[in-house]
Amino acid sequence: MKLLLTIILSVLCSPLFAQVPDSCGINNDARLTAIEATFLNTYYAGIRKNFDFTDKKILFVTGTAATRITGKTAYFKSIRSNWNPATNPVGGSGVDPLTVSEKKRSNGYDAVVYYWVKLIPPRGKQKIIEQAAAGL
């Protein structure tokens, strides 16, 4: 059922992907809305492998060395202000799904979305998970 809903939303909303939909990032709830998930599935289509953003809880991380957790409001604001479909996604972007163990340690997050990151230090992901667990 979720897959069918995602497909229907993708077809109906595909004209929206000429730009970031205004309904993306209107709150900082880590759980994505259907529109946000559909947008991110399309936006990261070339790098997300088989990860599906539908109904997922996401950590948004930025900073030169991937050290700062932000909310999805800041993430989508950054995407809107730097939107260029020819260079989709923005520089230094990536999707890193969490393992079952990492998800448990991070208080239920499903993945980390990096943006405007130059370098992810070897223990960078683990530090982000620790910050999420501490509620930072």
**DSSP class per residue in 76-115:** HHHHHHT--GGG-S-TT-EEEEPPHHHHHHTTS--EEEE-
Number of domains in the chain: 1
Q: Quote the pLDDT of residue 1.
A: 58
Q: Please give the residue range of the domain that contains residue 55.
A: 2-133
Mean per-residue pLDDT, 49-57: 95
* pLDDT tens sequence across 20-48: 778 899 999 999 999 999 999 988 888 88
What DSSP string runs through 9-67?
Answer: HHHHHGGGGGS--TTTTSS--SBPPHHHHHHHHHHTTTTSTT---TT-BEEEEETTTT-
| pLDDT at residue number 135 | 83
Mean pLDDT of the chain: 83
pLDDT of 57 strictly over 90? yes
Cα separation, 40 vs 46, in Å, equals 11
- The one-letter amino acid code at 100 reads V
Structure tokens at 98: 């969490």
For the whole model, what pTM was predicted?
Answer: 0.80
The model's pLDDT over 99-119, given as tens digits with 9 standing for 90+, comes to 999 999 999 999 999 998 988
